[in-house]
Amino acid sequence: MQLSKTEEQLMRYIWKLEKAFMKDLLEEYPDPKPATTTVATLLKRMSAKGFVAYKEFGKSRQYFALIKKSDYFSNHLNGLIKNFFNNSASQFASFFTSETDLSASELEELRKIVDQEIKKKKK
């Protein structure tokens, strides 16, 4: 299941803060800040989708993520590769390296990362 853009923005704040009350989340937003009711609605939807949970402290709720940021984005990226690149990581890599504005040094760094992963997988 995916998050909407507004839910994803809020989820980024939750990942950043790890545990947060409504006031903490509202402070993270740039001006103009959304209404408390808007954020509460987003949190309710995200809770129903299984992305966040909360602990109650009196009338206040402290929210926390149920899914790690790396797991969410890994799943998101794998879906992108499956849906737009015929489930081919090499097609994705080809597109990514040729269609983005990566410098030669950034491409070299990518090569090092790929080489390290190859070494790990061969062990």
Q: What is the pTM of this model?
A: 0.76
Q: Let me know if 31 is exposed, middle or buried by CB neighbors in 10 A (0-12, 13-18, 19+).
A: exposed
| Model pLDDT for residues 25-41, shown as the tens digit of each residue | 999 999 999 999 999 99
Residues 28 and 63 sit within 8 Å (Cβ to Cβ): no
Contacts 24+ apart (CB under 8 A), 42-50: 42/6, 42/7, 42/10, 43/10, 45/7, 46/3, 46/7, 46/10, 46/11, 49/1, 49/3, 50/1
pLDDT at 69 exceeding the cut of 90: yes
Among candidate residues 65, 54, 76, the one with its CA nearest the CA of residue 2: 76
Contacts 24+ apart (CB under 8 A), 7-11: 7/42, 7/45, 7/46, 7/51, 10/39, 10/42, 10/43, 10/46, 11/46, 11/51, 11/52, 11/65, 11/72
Confidence of residue 92 (pLDDT cuts 50, 70, 90): confident
Residues 112 and 104 sit within 8 Å (Cβ to Cβ): no
Please report, rounded to a whole number, the percentage of residues in the chain having pLDDT higher than 90: 62
pLDDT at 99 exceeding the cut of 90: no
pLDDT at 58 exceeding the cut of 90: yes
User: For 37-52, what is the mean pLDDT?
Assistant: 96
| Model pLDDT for residues 71-91, shown as the tens digit of each residue | 998 988 888 888 889 988 888
Domain regions of the chain by residue span: 5-65, 69-122
- Per-residue model confidence (pLDDT) at position 35: 96
In CATH terms, the fold of domain 5-65 is Arc Repressor Mutant, subunit A (1.10.10)
- Per-residue model confidence (pLDDT) at position 53: 97
